[in-house]
Amino acid sequence: MPKLGRFPPFGKRFFRRARKLIGSCHFAHFWRAVVSLAAMQGRRSMRKLEACCRNHSTRQSIGFFLSKAHWDAPQLLAETAIDTLKGLGWQSGDPLHLVLDDTQKRKRGKLMEAVSKIFLHAEKVYAQGHTIVACAIVYRNVVIPYAVRLWATSEFCKKTQKKSYDGDPIEFRKLTQLAADIITDCPLEKVTVLFDSYYLCPNVTHACAAQQYRWAGVAKKNRNFFPDGRDRDKRKLSSYGANALKRLGKWVKHEGKTYRLAERVGRLSKLGRVKLVFSRRAKEKCWIAIATNETRWGALRVLRHYLNRWPIEILFKESKQYLGLGDYQMLRYRGVVRYLHLVLIAHLLLTHLGGVAQGAQANDKNKPLDLPSVPQLQLHLREKLWDDTINSMEQGTRNRRIGKKLKQVILLET
């Protein structure tokens, strides 16, 4: 990719909110870091970030920007996400899905803050690393990163409360409390919150109730369920769901796949009155129980809503594989958190470019958007950067002849 010199003209619309929030002092570091992370190939590192900035930033200045400079990363990500959402044609009042989930990243650094023993679900082993809680908005089949939090142990949080600690004090929060905080701070309306079985708990559901949000999540099969009209008839979902599917289930088709669905209304332990939808795909033995506080929805509608939870898994995979979500080298807690925010803002930049290229605002809002993949959007971004570099050379005085010659060669090839 080309070296980043002047501010790219195609980024004016995307970075206009960030310029106001972050201030002129740190804006140059910010936009160069975001564009570098979005366009860079291979593994990210401080050395590569420095090389992309064409001597405008050193590793020390980038490290200072991430660890000690004064700017609000969560607010910047949230407001940039809402701006990107509006760029896709969203208007206040349009229905949205807010998806919550977490991911783990193995880290071997002994001096890196907030590292703890975690269970890596993909590898089925215990290791040292970080747990990252993320929230994304799903609109018209497009996933938009909205918030990210880095979980820290109670021991590390106590350490940050001491006067000897050189940094901001951190209050200990459970993973479910971090998710509830994200929901509480969300200013959007007509939201349906989606999550897996770990986040189906009072912390998250009470936060949804306070915001008047609908929610849907998978219930573990060891939970107790009391059907309507039988308050003392306690049933385990493991046996109750299997019997309901066998006796009352009906086959339905959705997006080319066949499901057997059964629904029941009652009281779920610790959550109150809910609707349960038991779902099993054709030719499979496994089934799930989807719980929701919207008891008026039909079984197929509940399933249709919950299937929108999968895009956040794709977000994690793409961010790690193509944007370097886990490639951070910062030792300080604040530096790691800000790096995670920059990676997700880089993802928003690619989404913005894809939405502009497809004219998302001019399309029918009732139809899903089919944006290019992240590698295709990265290639598109690199082409824009090369075009801007050649144009700047042609308009300058020092390399004008080289710029004109390069432009002629490119025009002949195309």
* The total number of residues written for the chain in this structure: 414
Tell me, what's the pLDDT at 55?
Answer: 65
Q: What is the mean pLDDT of residues 329-341?
A: 93
Please name which of 361, 216, 179 lies closest in space to residue 291, comparing C-alpha atoms.
Answer: 216
Higher pLDDT among residues 230 and 199, named by residue: 199
Pairing type for strands 191-195 and 96-106 reads parallel
- What percent of the chain shows pLDDT beyond 70? 93
DSSP 371: P
Sequence-distant (≥ 6) Cβ neighbours of residue 328 within 8 angstroms: 44, 335, 336, 339, 340
SS (H, E, C) 17-51: HHHHHHCHHHHHHHHHHHHHHHHCCCCCCHHHHHH
pLDDT at 399 over 50: yes
Higher pLDDT among residues 261 and 26, named by residue: 261
Instruction: Give the pLDDT band (50/70/90) at residue 411.
Output: very low
**Per-residue pLDDT tens for 31-81?**
999 999 999 988 888 888 888 877 677 888 888 899 888 899 999 999 999
Query: In which residue are the tokens 């930049």 written?
Result: 349
pLDDT at 29 over 80: yes
Instruction: Give the pLDDT band (50/70/90) at residue 356.
Output: confident
Tell me, what's the pLDDT at 402?
Answer: 56
What are the percentages of helix, strand and coil residues in the chain, rounded to 5? 45, 20, 30
Higher pLDDT among residues 53 and 330, named by residue: 330
Q: Which residues of 119-153 are buried (b: 16+ CB within 10 A; e: fewer)?
A: eeeeeeeeeebbbbbbbbbbbbebbbbbbbbbbbe
- What percent of the chain shows pLDDT beyond 90? 61
